[in-house]
Amino acid sequence: MKTMVYCKKCGKELEDGATFCPGCGASLVEGNLAYRKQGAKGWDAGRVIAVVFGGLMILVGLPLAFAGTAVMGVTSAMDDGSGYIGVSGFDFETGTQALVFKDMHVEDMVMNRIDSPAMRFWSPRAGDLLKLKFSLQSNNGKDVFIGILDEAQALSYLGAAEYEYVADFEMESPIDGHPYITYQLHSGSEITVSPQSISAWEDYEMGDDVTLEWEPEGGDYWVVIMNADLTPGVDVETGAGVRMPFLSFIGQGILVGGIICSLIGGVIVYVGVIKRS
């Protein structure tokens, strides 16, 4: 038995397969409704990655920023006003004719031997990267002599002489005014050749209040302090400093790098987590 189909709107009989009513023109096909499920509120993979990656950048950036600030702070606090970072106000004395600081090793500036386009325009000297300063003030009214000798030359001049050398020097902090100092006696004969007559000095100064600035080259050196008249009993107040022109730029670079790294990490967390929420 054939089932008759009628239009629900006007009641007209319909043919099989008809999509529109021939009487009223009503559509005979019901529209399909599409439903979209609301996005989940939980933490998806994108948010987790944003938190991990952004958080790591912040964790790296903040310590870098603090380190850069510390380098700049120490550089500024210990600056003696002429660009040198150092300490001063230490008394050294000996009953012999000479006081010696041995085994001062300076690394060779190998950058002078690097062949690169940058080096063809600027080949740095040791003094461009490192410069040392020694200051001396006599405590006994005598003129003092301070000079720097290559180790081989120092052994030639003082190897058979009697002198004292600083065996140990320890400070609890950069502002410690009473460091622990020990001396070691080197037995030998009297020094009869005045230091001024020696031509082998890398550099030297003489007077009752002197400052010696020195641009080191690679090697091993001795710092020698004597009374200018060769009499025994050296008693001086000393200071030492180092000037590294790039140190402040290094501190600034670390600070800026840390800030940029932290900002990038913060943006990643904001965009990946907070803004998406």
For 85-122, write each residue's pLDDT tens digit: 777 788 999 999 999 999 887 765 444 444 444 444 44
- The residue ranking higher by pLDDT, 38 or 274, is 274
- 194 band by pLDDT with thresholds 50, 70 and 90: very high
Angle between helices 45-77 and 247-269 (to 10 degrees): 160
Q: Is 192 exposed, middle or buried (0-12, 13-18, 19+ CB in 10 A)?
A: exposed
Residue 169: strand pairing partners: 181
CA gap 78, 195 in Å, rounded: 33
Q: Do residues 134 and 240 touch, judged by C-beta distance below 8 A?
A: yes
CATH classification (class only), 86-108+127-243: mainly beta
pLDDT of 217 reads 80
DSSP 60: H
Distances (CA, A) of 70 to 28, 63, 78: 80, 10, 12
pLDDT of 146 reads 95
Cβ neighbour number for residue 147 with a 10 Å cutoff: 24
* 85: CB partners within 8 A, 6+ apart: 74, 75, 78, 79, 241, 242, 243, 244, 247
Q: Do residues 135 and 225 touch, judged by C-beta distance below 8 A?
A: no
pTM exceeds cut of 0.95:
no
Sheet arrangement for strand 131-138:
85-94, 234-243, 131-138, 209-214
The DSSP secondary structure of 70-129, one letter per residue, reads HHHHHHHHTB-SSS-EEEEEEEEEESSSEEEEEEEEE---GGGG--SHHHHH----HHHH
| H or E element that contains 153 | helix 151-158
pLDDT of 221 reads 92
* 204: CB partners within 8 A, 6+ apart: 145, 146, 147, 148, 195, 212
Mean pLDDT of 119-142: 71
Report residue 223 as tokens.
């710092």
pLDDT of 162 reads 96
pLDDT of 171 reads 75
Judged against a pLDDT cut of 90, whether residue 147 lies above it is answered with yes
List the chain domain ranges: 1-33, 44-77+246-277, 86-108+127-243
Q: Do residues 266 and 54 touch, judged by C-beta distance below 8 A?
A: yes
Share of the chain above pLDDT 70, in %: 70
Q: Do residues 201 and 149 touch, judged by C-beta distance below 8 A?
A: yes
Average pLDDT score, the chain? 78
Judged against a pLDDT cut of 70, whether residue 157 lies above it is answered with yes
Q: What is the pLDDT of residues 196-237, one digit of tens each?
A: 998 999 999 999 999 998 888 878 899 999 999 999 999 999
DSSP 187: -
- The residue ranking higher by pLDDT, 170 or 237, is 237
